[in-house]
Chains A and B, each alone.
Chain A
């Protein structure tokens, strides 16, 4: 799973969000390091919808502009949980090897 995809799913894990909300949230989650651009976001959303990992929650029109809210599907939650566990295992292994005492305490 690509980092952008992982962060988009993470942004949706706490509840449904619209496109601009996802961009702000991903920036916050990544500590300002990942700035999603619209082209990247919407091609990722299209792929995630096609794969059944996210769905459209609802649509609103605010100031004559369309806002579509996306949410995780149960399959999306499972994928994100599996991916998070995998990354966590890798990160733990890396930390343990770099600093046995520190990682022993963390794990």
Chain B
């Protein structure tokens, strides 16, 4: 029995350490890829050096600290990323959020818009209903599109810039369409929400086509591993 215990002890310690390392790896997986490639092995070495002998999993304090670090790193620009691209990507996240706001605005004002149209054009209510349903279906798709644009630009994908310009063109047409249909009179809140989205998209396009951004997207540097 004592012989078994004697053999079991080092083995158990190895398991502890492996399970602790797995715990740390899971926490480090929340950091951006470029940061992990650069620092993961080293941070893991420091974490393991700081560990107690019988520790089997990360302490709550260390886990919270690592997760806070991951959030901070994800909010920072990637190495070599110009400020303009960084700002444009932030704007695209904001665009997704603003689109969500626009969806809520459309839902919240639907009754008032219907009533306003019905007072002036009693026959126009059906067409307004169609409009509202189309907007409500389109908004989640547009949110996904904003998120994809943010992701693709942060991953330095040049074709994403064409997609962004096409997207701005679409929103511009939709704004002109809304203005032609007297949205200013019948749906002022929806029109303002649309204008905010249009301004965000325009600002992102301007930022993504500055000379610094152009260089970043066109010149492919060798990826550091």
Contact = CB atoms under 8 A, between A and B. Distances in A.
Interface of A: 19-20, 23, 37-43, 46-47, 50, 65-68
| Shortest Cβ-Cβ A-B pairs, 4 listed | A39-B69, A65-B45, A37-B65, A39-B65
Contacts of A43: 69, 72-73
Contacts of A40: 65, 68-69
B52 to A, nearest CB: 14
Contact of A42 (B43, B76, B79): B43
Contacts of B76: 46-47, 50
A41 B46 contact: yes
A19 B42 contact: yes
Interface of B: 35, 39, 41-50, 61-62, 65-70, 72-73, 76, 79
17 contacts: A19-B42, A20-B50, A38-B47, A38-B66, A39-B68, A40-B68, A42-B39, A42-B43, A43-B69, A43-B73, A46-B73, A47-B76, A50-B79, A65-B44, A65-B49, A66-B41, A66-B42
Given A38-B43, A41-B46, A42-B42, 16 more contacts: A19-B42, A19-B43, A20-B45, A20-B46, A20-B50, A37-B62, A37-B65, A38-B47, A38-B50, A39-B65, A42-B43, A43-B72, A46-B35, A66-B42, A67-B45, A68-B42
Which one of A38, A40, A50, A65 has the greatest number of beta carbons of chain B within 10 Å?
A38
Nearest to B47: A38
B122 to A, nearest CB: 62
Nearest to B40: A66
Given A38-B66, A40-B65, A50-B79, A67 B42 contact: yes
Contact of B48 (A42, A50, A65): A65
A107 B49 CA distance: 42
A42 B70 CA distance: 10
A46 B39 contact: yes
A68 to B, nearest CB: 5
